[in-house]
Chain A
Amino acid sequence: MAIPKQLPCETILAGIADGVFTVDLDWNITSFNEAASHITGVPASEALGSKCWDVFHSSLCDGQCALKACVGGAPAVSGKSIFIVRTDGEKVPVSISAAPLHDEAGKLIGGVESFRDLSDIHRLRREVERSHTFEDIVGKSPALEKIFAILPQVARSDATALILGDSGTGKELFARALHNLSDRASAPFVAVNCGALPETLLESELFGYKAGAFTDAKRDKPGRFQQAKGGTIFLDEIGDMPMPLQVKLLRVLQDKSYEPLGAVRSETTDARVVAATNHDLQALVAEGRFRQDLYYRLNVVQLRLPSLAERREDVPLLVNHVIRRLNAVQGKDIEGVSEDVMALFMRHSFPGNVRELENILEFAAILCPSGFIQVEHLPEQMQPAGRSMDLDRPCSEPMTLEEAKCRAVLAAIQRNGGRRMAACRELEISKDTLRRTLARCEKLGLK
């Protein structure tokens, strides 16, 4: 809908909450509305006639100007997340949109940029994240809320707990939470990876040895069970524990006693055992690779952690959480991720779960030490351009309507051995519709 010509543009611009400014072809500011003054802290009287980079001070101003790109013929920018720096040194997150300006004859005369202050949204996001953080575990999904609800009660009991979940779902984090919330919090939390050591080494690691037990055993060495006295021992990858050791662990769970290598007397332990695995222990039991009696001893309380794909709504919270940690640990100054990146994350299946998300953000932080992480900062496999359509992806996963159409068309072509007319007949569409859809697929970077 066109704006009637007699309407005063200045009044309209003055009444909107977004900052708007226009520039001529020499990047001199030609108009600057009230909201723009309010957000940047620069009065319109001083901004007018100045170079836009001297007023806007954005993360893109020197060399990556979105407005310059638009005026130069690139597509208009919409909703790009960046930050500007106000004259008091305060960083303000904004979302910008930019487009070229043409006169009535169609001649290029400059550009227009609008920007929205995202400070309140960012502040709200941080508050939401804080309210959904439980013992350093971040999430608000129903699957996780259910675990959060029972975690304190489970922690207070001394029952053995079995944590199940795919790789990268944070099993050790939950084990630590169980320890921190228990009465044992002041005693040690000892983690052992049962899959990382060979059988003999794992036995001496868990139970320790006595001097003279074997060559070079000059002194007694306490095992991890002894180190975890009064605390919690976390046995990760319990599904990889060798059978002979499973018997010894069973005895610990039954009698609270064990024998260090070379010892003539049993020792007792009061450590609480929390075990975890990404294997299907019941299947291992059925295959005879895991003792059934040990499985039942371990499986007193079972916590099944959802994969990240099952709690997709937690992705934004996790992203903020990881970025905050990267900022604190690595001295980065990252504001967040752009909306494009977040959209990509929301569609990604994350087979590596939270660990994969952390790795992606850590990679991006190397290329983007400050400001907002953009799509180009992501690892190559996450880049949308040139990505191939995964036709085996389940239909239940989130995707755009365009993606769904591409997926249907590409799958039909594949089913019909590359014969396009056969695909058209199957889909009941014309060959022109097929051609247009394929062109859009290519534009989306889907092959």
Chain B
Amino acid sequence: MLLCLACYGDRLASLAENADQYRLYRVQDGHAEPEGGIAPPDRDPASLARAMAACGVREFVCGGITGCCRRHLEITGVRVRPWVSGDVDEVLAAWNAGGLEALSMPGCGGPRCDQPGLGRGCGGMRNRNQSCARGAGQRPGGRKWETKS
């Protein structure tokens, strides 16, 4: 199973769309091994979702995320675990232990932050359904880079 962490430096980025690295981890027998990362061609939600889907990401752990970006990812079949904060090692350990909730961002302790579909997040300028359904999963994009061992 391929896990992706939206990172800024050695911590999770405050916003998934701001991340400077999308690190990939191959999870086998409860252990997460680094497996390079993804450099999406663009940071818009549709490109990001296409890149994730093209690389076979199953689960995406990130800090904040717009409702629009989240829907794009979920339409392509990626499970999104949002509103998590912390260093990468800390997050991986919590994920392995099934305890990501302990790393919830401030204001995200309740169920509100884990409800998919909340928040327009597309600038409010476009039709919600159209903008978020269009483009998602249409064509693969982005490229995957390998970890140098």
Which residues of chain A have a CB within 8 Å of any CB of chain B? 40-43, 46-47, 50-51, 53-59, 61-63, 85-91, 122-123, 126, 323-324, 327-328, 331-335, 369-370
Contacts and interface: CB of A to CB of B under 8 A. Distances in A.
Nearest to A51: B85
27 contacts: A40-B107, A42-B106, A51-B85, A54-B63, A54-B85, A55-B105, A57-B14, A57-B64, A59-B18, A62-B8, A62-B15, A63-B20, A88-B67, A89-B66, A89-B67, A89-B68, A89-B121, A90-B119, A90-B121, A91-B121, A324-B126, A331-B46, A333-B123, A334-B123, A369-B43, A369-B44, A369-B47
Nearest to A324: B125
Nearest 6 interchain pairs by C-beta: A89-B119, A89-B67, A42-B107, A57-B64, A90-B119, A53-B14
B123 A56 contact: no
B137 to A, nearest CB: 13
Contacts of A46: 106-107, 109
Contacts of B105: 50, 54-55, 57, 87
Nearest to B120: A90
Contacts of B66: 85, 89-91, 333
B108 interface: yes
Given A89-B118, A91-B121, A369-B44, A333 B15 contact: no
Contact of B125 (A40, A88, A327, A369): A327
Nearest to A366: B42
Interface string B98-133: 000000011111001101001111111110000100
A126 B42 CA distance: 27
B148 interface: no
Contacts of A43: 106-107
Interface string B40-73: 0011111100000000000000011111101000
B83 interface: yes
Nearest to B41: A369
Give the interface SS of chain B, mostly helix, strand, loop or mixed.
loop
B35 to A, nearest CB: 23
Contacts of B122: 91, 327, 333
Contacts of B78: none
Contacts of B123: 91, 327, 333-335
Question: Interface range on chain B: under 10, 10 to 19, 20 to 34, or 35 or more?
Answer: 35 or more
Contacts of A369: 42-44, 47
A432 B44 CA distance: 52
Given A61-B14, A370-B44, A87 B83 contact: yes
Contacts of A58: 14-15
Give the interface SS of chain A, mostly helix, strand, loop or mixed.
mixed
Nearest to A91: B121
A126 B19 CA distance: 30
B13 interface: yes
Contacts of A55: 105-107
B40 to A, nearest CB: 10
A46 B20 CA distance: 27
A58 B15 CA distance: 7
A88 B15 CA distance: 13
B134 A331 contact: yes
Given A87-B112, A88-B112, A126-B125, A41 B8 contact: no
A213 B56 CA distance: 61
A63 B18 contact: yes
Interface centre among A41, A43, A53, A87 (most CB of B within 10 A): A87
A53 to B, nearest CB: 4
Contact of A122 (B47, B108, B124): B124
Given A91-B121, A126-B125, A327-B125, A57 B63 contact: yes
A68 to B, nearest CB: 13
B106 A54 contact: yes
A362 B106 CA distance: 37
Given A57-B14, A63-B8, A328 B126 contact: yes
Contacts of B107: 40-43, 46-47, 55, 87
A216 to B, nearest CB: 41
A40 B45 CA distance: 22
Given A62-B14, A331-B46, A87 B113 contact: yes
Contacts of A335: 123
B91 to A, nearest CB: 13
A91 B124 contact: yes
Given A91-B122, A126-B124, 15 more contacts: A41-B107, A46-B106, A58-B14, A62-B15, A62-B20, A85-B15, A89-B119, A324-B125, A324-B126, A328-B126, A331-B135, A333-B68, A333-B122, A334-B123, A369-B44
Contacts of A53: 14, 63
A333 B119 CA distance: 14
Nearest to A52: B14
A63 B19 CA distance: 9
A333 B16 CA distance: 14
Contacts of B82: 89
A56 B44 CA distance: 20
A333 B17 CA distance: 11
Interface centre among A62, A88, A331 (most CB of B within 10 A): A62
B85 A88 contact: no
A333 B45 contact: yes
Contacts of A40: 107
B129 to A, nearest CB: 13
